[in-house]
């Protein structure tokens, strides 16, 4: 059996057969889902708390008109109680006191008293209720003053809402459903995933190399195998672990997507959707505005848009950029770990390698807003940032020749990085004692084997 | 041609000269002691033999041919600074190292079974290395070194970390391996173990070989022609008869017999001295002082450093 294969096998099985790998691989998607859904869930929990708001309506415009929400209940009080309620706010049953002045029609101002900052939910609800009622009253007054027949209906008819359906033109001139938001989401996720993978698995390579050096097993192994075999075996073995993890995630996500599709697109599910929408409308005025324009088949649209995305291309390019980017960084990380003796020294040498990675993440934030810009172009061609930035751009559509050039530059750089790393690794792995300087490491490149 | 030959090998690292024109010959079945102070170049030589590094110049011959990549399957190496994966199970680890040395999984398992039974450590198979004591880890490492039945074995300080009982067990195993035809390079600073198991030594100092030979010849070469004689008789008479060829280094008078230490200044034969003393005193014991390897080592290295 080929030695590099034996080494790859050990690295692979050593990780994959660990319980921690399986648990982490299965839990991470759940964890992500949790991170996304937990705040929403917590928000609904919070909404169940009732806040009573005392209202003194000096304008007499709103008496009995203000609608309660799930979390906000209005309670009108007579003027005699005003001082009393105001002084004991917080310690009595009321959460806040809303003071509507007589001049509200002209000033558009009200005051809310409370002993602590009132929460956004309550404030939004008060805002929304007052705005709506006042607007309605003003309009009703205007309509009756002008005396134009059917004016109310005509005004209603002027309300306009635009839905932008984005169609991406393909080679054969056919329009494909696309969504900027979904492209952004996927680009962001793909870029970030590469960043995480490179950091996580590059870090594993680095710690593995240092472990081998520190435990001195390396001396035993390289009397059986060449140093470059040991280095590449470790790097490739861990890449296989990463790809296994990725594959499991793709299958899980695919399963979830298909599951979600069959759930949401069925009539029953739509019914449920509608119910949950109405709940949301009650609790959140912002959401209600959105939901009012949300046709019941919107979910089908999203599904169609997701299906319109070229997943084979994205996954294929992800694999190419992940593998090349990972090889580029992890070989340099392996070289660094081989050159030093301790973790502290390693962290010091790590800085020049981590800076481009972190820069890529900073650039990512910009590129996602403008995937066609100069910055996006250059960052997706420079090898140290291209694995991340190009992945962000791909869902928006990138010409094939740009992809080709970017991959070619990255592949060449990766080849160079491995060549340099192998030289440093070979010498460094057998050097113990003092920490080398950059200059010395440079000299190692010229050593013969 | 010897089983293993190093011919005029030199190696430098940047400004540092690790080996200068070193040649050694090792016969099959020999235990060859590779000696030298720290930093003399022993490890570099061992690494060249293991093909971890290549010499700048010179040649290495193994079993009649130029040392080539495949020869590593015939070499077993126990480095001085050694270790194994701490979190890997003992059995898996030994299998892995054996496969890297070219054994098939099946052969490796069979041989491992033999060695684990021999050392009575079958119970360790599924333990992680870090659960074993240092001495136990060394045993595992020793097995990993010899498992593939190498023709050439290189032991660098094999006894460090062993208690006297296990060190003795290990010594027996090394001698057994020699009995079975293995050739052994043995590098150590422990000179008494050199005397116990080495047939031949080479001493390297400051990158150069400064001494090479059969262990008895080497010791003979450094003997000082000094004799300890215990006798019954009169010291003055002996002192008188010895003359200019001899020098009395020391003498002690005791109730029943006396002791004298005599150096033969231009010695021809030990019997010269015996025959001079014999008529004058009754000789209880007569012995020549043979230097220990320890003394040879110190003397040779110090002379060389001057």
Question: Among partner residues B13, B14, B83, which is closest to A215 by beta-carbon distance?
Answer: B83
Domain range for B273 is: 224-289
Mean pLDDT of B115-121: 90
Residues A325 and A198 sit within 8 Å (Cβ to Cβ): yes
- pLDDT given at position B98: 93
Chain B residues in contact with A430 by the CB 8 A cut-off are 47, 52-53
C-alpha R_g of chain B = 25
Which of B172, B191, B220 corresponds to the end of one domain? B220
- Say whether A215 and B86 touch across the interface (CB within 8 A): yes
Compute the mean pLDDT over every residue in chain B, rounded to the nearest whole number. 89
- Say whether B54 and A221 touch across the interface (CB within 8 A): no
The verdict on A127 touching B (C-beta cutoff 8 Å) is no
Chain B interface disruption, residue of A219, A229, A426, A440, most B CBs within 10 A: A219
- Say whether B141 and A220 touch across the interface (CB within 8 A): yes
- Contact residues, A window 7-26, toward B, CB-based 8 Å cutoff: 7, 10, 14
Question: Among partner residues A211, A216, A223, which is closest to B52 by beta-carbon distance?
Answer: A223
Residues B67 and B201 reside in one and the same domain: yes
Please tell me which of A71-75, B187-191, B274-278 the model is most confident about, judged by mean pLDDT.
B187-191
Confidence of residue B146 (pLDDT cuts 50, 70, 90): very high
Residues whose CB falls within 8 Å of the CB of residue A285, separated by 6 or more in sequence, listed in order = A69, A124, A125, A127, A128
Residues B131 and B245 reside in one and the same domain: no
Name which of A285-299, A330-344, B232-246 the model is least confident about.
A285-299
Residues of chain B with pLDDT > 90: what percent? 43
pLDDT digits (tens, 9 = 90+) for B21-75: 999 999 999 999 999 998 888 989 999 999 888 899 999 999 989 998 888 899 9
- pLDDT given at position A289: 47
φ, ψ (nearest 5 deg) of residue B33: -85, 120
Chain B residues in contact with A447 by the CB 8 A cut-off are 13
Name which of A167-176, A272-281, B90-99 the model is least confident about.
A272-281
- pLDDT given at position A298: 61
Output the DSSP codes for A48-66. Answer: TS-EEEEEEETT-SSTTTP
The verdict on B160 touching A (C-beta cutoff 8 Å) is no
Which of B220, B239, B273 corresponds to the end of one domain? B220
Chain B residues in contact with A207 by the CB 8 A cut-off are none
Chain B residues in contact with A216 by the CB 8 A cut-off are 79, 81-83
Residues A414 and A422 sit within 8 Å (Cβ to Cβ): no
- Say whether A216 and B82 touch across the interface (CB within 8 A): yes
- Say whether A217 and B144 touch across the interface (CB within 8 A): no
Residues B222 and B300 sit within 8 Å (Cβ to Cβ): yes
Residues whose CB falls within 8 Å of the CB of residue B290, separated by 6 or more in sequence, listed in order = B219, B220, B223
Buried b (16+ CB within 10 A) or exposed e, A108-143: eebeebbeeebbebbeebbebbbeeebeeeeeeeeb
Question: Which chain A residue is nearest to residue B81, measuring alpha carbons?
Answer: A216
Confidence of residue B104 (pLDDT cuts 50, 70, 90): very high
Q: Does pLDDT of A1 surpass 60?
A: no
Residues B245 and B225 sit within 8 Å (Cβ to Cβ): no
Residue B145 to chain A, least CA–CA distance (Å): 9
Confidence of residue B94 (pLDDT cuts 50, 70, 90): very high
Q: Does pLDDT of A152 surpass 90?
A: no
Residues B80 and B201 reside in one and the same domain: yes
- Say whether B77 and A223 touch across the interface (CB within 8 A): yes
Residues B101 and B29 reside in one and the same domain: yes
Residues B228 and B206 reside in one and the same domain: no
CATH number at residue B233: 3.30.70.60
Chain B residues in contact with A448 by the CB 8 A cut-off are 54, 56
Please tell me which of A74-88, A240-254, A297-311, B21-35 the model is most confident about, judged by mean pLDDT.
B21-35
Residues B264 and B277 reside in one and the same domain: yes
Q: Does pLDDT of A293 surpass 60?
A: no
Q: Is residue B209 a part of any domain in this protein?
A: yes
Confidence of residue B13 (pLDDT cuts 50, 70, 90): confident
Residues B158 and B281 reside in one and the same domain: no
Chain A residues in contact with B147 by the CB 8 A cut-off are none
Chain A residues in contact with B144 by the CB 8 A cut-off are 220
The verdict on B142 touching A (C-beta cutoff 8 Å) is no
Chain B residues in contact with A219 by the CB 8 A cut-off are 52, 77, 79, 81-82
The verdict on B291 touching A (C-beta cutoff 8 Å) is no
Alpha-helical regions (H) of A265-310: 267-283, 285-292, 298-308
d(CA B112, CA B150): 15
Residues B18 and B126 sit within 8 Å (Cβ to Cβ): no
Domain range annotation of chain A? 51-139, 181-444
Residue A164 to chain B, least CA–CA distance (Å): 58
Residue B86 to chain A, least CA–CA distance (Å): 8
Chain A residues in contact with B75 by the CB 8 A cut-off are 223
Please tell me which of A151-165, A179-193, A272-286 the model is most confident about, judged by mean pLDDT.
A179-193
Single pTM value for the model: 0.74
Predicted complex ipTM: 0.81
Chain B residues in contact with A443 by the CB 8 A cut-off are 14
Please tell me which of A92-96, A227-231, B81-85, B253-257 the model is most confident about, judged by mean pLDDT.
A227-231
- pLDDT given at position A294: 47
Tokens 């067990």 found at? B169
What are the distances in angstroms from CA B159 to CA A158, A208, A315?
95, 28, 55
Which of B187, B220, B253 corresponds to the end of one domain? B220
What are the distances in angstroms from CA A71 to CA A100, A274, A279, B246?
20, 20, 12, 117
Residues B37 and B175 reside in one and the same domain: yes
Orientation angle between helical segments B90-100 and B105-118, nearest 10 degrees: 130
Q: Does pLDDT of A421 surpass 60?
A: yes
- pLDDT given at position B125: 92
pLDDT digits (tens, 9 = 90+) for A28-64: 777 776 776 676 666 666 556 778 888 888 888 887 7
The total number of structural domains in chain B stands at 2
Chain A residues in contact with B53 by the CB 8 A cut-off are 430, 449
- pLDDT given at position A185: 83
Question: Among partner residues A10, A216, A223, which is closest to B50 by beta-carbon distance?
Answer: A223
Chain B interface disruption, residue of A224, A227, A423, A449, most B CBs within 10 A: A224
Question: Which chain A residue is nearest to residue B47, measuring alpha carbons?
Answer: A223
Residues B48 and B151 reside in one and the same domain: yes
Classify A51-139 by CATH class: alpha beta
Identify the three-state secondary structure at position A196. Answer: helix
Q: Does pLDDT of A377 surpass 70?
A: yes
* Selected residue with higher pLDDT from A386 and A174: A386
Can you give the three-state secondary structure of chain B, one letter per residue? CCCEEEEEEEEEECCEEEEEEEEEEECCCCEEEEECCCCCCHHHHHHHHCCCCCCCEEEEEECCEECCHHHHHHEEEECCCCCCCCCCEHHHHHHHHHHHCCCCHHHHHHHHHHHHHHCCCHHHCCCEHHHCCHHHHHHHHHHHHHCCCCCEEEEECCCCCCCHHHHHHHHHHHHHHHHCCCEEEEECCCHHHHHHHCCEEEEEECCEEEEEEEHHHHHHHCCCCEEEEEEECCHHHHHHHHCCCEEEEEEEECCCCEEEEEEECCCCCHHHHHHHHCCCCEEEEEEECCCCHHHHHHHHHHHHHC
Residues B184 and B170 reside in one and the same domain: yes
Q: Does pLDDT of A273 surpass 60?
A: no
Please tell me which of A180-184, A347-351, A434-438 the model is most confident about, judged by mean pLDDT.
A347-351
Name which of A168-172, B14-18, B279-283 the model is least confident about.
A168-172
Mean pLDDT of A124-149: 84
Q: Does pLDDT of A290 surpass 50?
A: no
Residues B171 and B276 reside in one and the same domain: no
- Say whether B85 and A217 touch across the interface (CB within 8 A): yes
Residues B256 and B208 reside in one and the same domain: no
Q: Does pLDDT of A269 surpass 80?
A: no
Compute the mean pLDDT over every residue in chain A, rounded to the nearest whole number. 82
Residues whose CB falls within 8 Å of the CB of residue A266, separated by 6 or more in sequence, listed in order = none
d(CA A244, CA A25): 9
CATH number at residue B26: 3.40.50.300
Q: Is residue B304 a part of any domain in this protein?
A: no
Q: Helix-strand-coil percent breakdown of chain A, rounded to 5?
A: 70, 5, 25
The verdict on B101 touching A (C-beta cutoff 8 Å) is yes
Residues whose CB falls within 8 Å of the CB of residue A78, separated by 6 or more in sequence, listed in order = none
Question: Among partner residues B85, B96, B101, which is closest to A215 by beta-carbon distance?
Answer: B85
Question: Among partner residues A215, A221, A432, which is closest to B100 by beta-carbon distance?
Answer: A221
Name which of A208-212, A265-269, A362-366, B210-214 the model is least confident about.
A265-269
* Selected residue with higher pLDDT from A408 and A142: A408
Which conformational region is residue A227 in: left (phi greater than 0), alpha (psi within -120 to 50 degrees), or beta? alpha
- pLDDT given at position A10: 93
Q: Is residue B169 a part of any domain in this protein?
A: yes
């Amino acid at each position: 059996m080929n030695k590099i294969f034996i080494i790859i096998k050990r690295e692979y099985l050593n990780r994959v057969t660990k319980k921690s790998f399986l648990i982490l691989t299965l839990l991470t998607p759940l964890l992500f889902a949790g991170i996304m859904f937990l705040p929403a869930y917590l928000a609904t929990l919070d909404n169940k708390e009732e806040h009573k708001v005392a209202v003194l309506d000096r304008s007499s415009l709103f008496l009995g008109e203000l609608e309660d929400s799930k979390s906000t209940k209005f309670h009108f009080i007579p003027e005699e109680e005003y001082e009393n309620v105001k002084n004991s706010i917080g310690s009595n049953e009321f959460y806040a006191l809303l003071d509507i002045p007589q001049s509200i029609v002209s000033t558009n101002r009200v005051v809310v008293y409370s002993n602590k900052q009132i929460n956004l939910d309550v404030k939004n609800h008060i805002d929304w209720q007052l705005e709506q009622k006042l607007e309605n009253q003003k309009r009703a007054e205007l309509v009756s003053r002008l005396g134009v027949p059917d004016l109310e209906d005509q005004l209603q008819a002027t309300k306009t809402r635009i839905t932008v359906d984005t169609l991406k033109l393909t080679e054969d001139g056919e329009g494909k459903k696309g969504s900027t938001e979904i492209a952004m989401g996927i680009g962001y996720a793909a870029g970030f995933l590469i960043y995480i993978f490179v950091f996580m698995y590059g870090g594993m390579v680095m710690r593995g190399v240092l472990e081998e050096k520190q435990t001195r097993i390396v001396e035993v192994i390289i009397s059986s195998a060449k140093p470059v075999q040991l280095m590449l075996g470790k790097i490739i073995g861990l890449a296989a672990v990463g790809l296994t993890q990725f594959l499991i995630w793709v299958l899980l996500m695919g399963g979830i997507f298909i599951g979600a599709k069959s759930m949401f697109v069925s009539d029953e599910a739509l019914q449920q959707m509608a119910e949950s929408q109405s709940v949301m409308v009650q609790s959140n005025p912002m959401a209600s505005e959105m939901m009012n324009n949300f046709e019941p088949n919107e979910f089908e649209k999203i599904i169609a848009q997701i299906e319109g995305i070229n997943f084979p291309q994205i996954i294929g390019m992800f694999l190419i950029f992940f593998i090349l980017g990972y090889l580029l960084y992890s070989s340099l990380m392996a070289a660094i770990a081989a050159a030093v003796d301790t973790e502290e020294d390693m962290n010091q040498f790590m800085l020049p390698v981590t800076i481009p990675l972190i820069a890529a993440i900073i650039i990512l934030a910009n590129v996602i807003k403008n995937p066609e810009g100069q910055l996006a172009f250059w960052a997706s061609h420079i090898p140290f940032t291209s694995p991340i930035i190009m992945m962000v751009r791909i869902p928006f559509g990138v010409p094939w020749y740009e992809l080709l050039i970017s991959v070619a530059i990255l592949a060449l750089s990766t080849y160079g990085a491995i060549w340099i790393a192998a030289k440093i690794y070979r010498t460094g792995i057998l050097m113990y004692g003092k920490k080398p300087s950059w200059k010395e490491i440079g000299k190692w490149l010229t050593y013969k084997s | 041609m010897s089983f293993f030959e190093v011919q005029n090998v030199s190696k430098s690292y940047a400004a540092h000269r690790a080996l200068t024109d070193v040649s050694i010959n090792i016969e099959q079945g020999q235990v060859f002691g590779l000696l030298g102070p720290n930093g003399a170049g022993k490890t570099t030589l061992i690494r060249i033999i293991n093909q971890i590094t290549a010499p700048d110049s010179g040649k290495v011959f193994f079993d009649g041919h130029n040392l080539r990549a495949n020869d590593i399957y015939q070499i077993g190496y126990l480095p001085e600074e050694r270790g194994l994966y701490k979190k890997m199970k003992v059995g898996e680890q030994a299998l892995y190292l054996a496969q890297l040395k070219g054994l098939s999984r099946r052969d490796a398992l069979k041989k491992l079974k033999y060695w684990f039974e021999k050392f009575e450590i079958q119970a360790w198979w599924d333990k992680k290395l870090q659960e074993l004591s240092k001495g136990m880890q060394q045993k595992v490492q020793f097995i990993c070194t010899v498992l593939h039945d190498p023709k050439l074995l290189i032991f660098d300080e094999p006894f460090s970390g062993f208690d006297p009982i296990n060190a003795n067990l290990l010594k027996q195993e090394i001698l057994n391996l020699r009995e079975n035809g293995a050739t052994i390079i043995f590098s150590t600073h422990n000179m008494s173990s050199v005397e116990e198991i080495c047939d031949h030594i080479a001493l390297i100092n400051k990158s150069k070989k400064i001494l090479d030979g059969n262990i008895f010849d080497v010791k003979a070469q450094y003997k000082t022609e000094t004799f300890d004689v215990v006798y019954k008789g009169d010291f003055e008479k002996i002192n008188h008869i010895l003359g200019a060829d001899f020098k009395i280094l020391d003498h002690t008078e005791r109730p029943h017999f006396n002791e004298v230490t005599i150096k033969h200044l231009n010695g021809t034969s030990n019997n010269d001295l015996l025959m001079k003393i014999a008529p004058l005193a009754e000789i209880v014991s007569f012995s020549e002082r043979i230097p220990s390897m320890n003394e040879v080592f110190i003397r040779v290295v110090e002379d060389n450093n001057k």
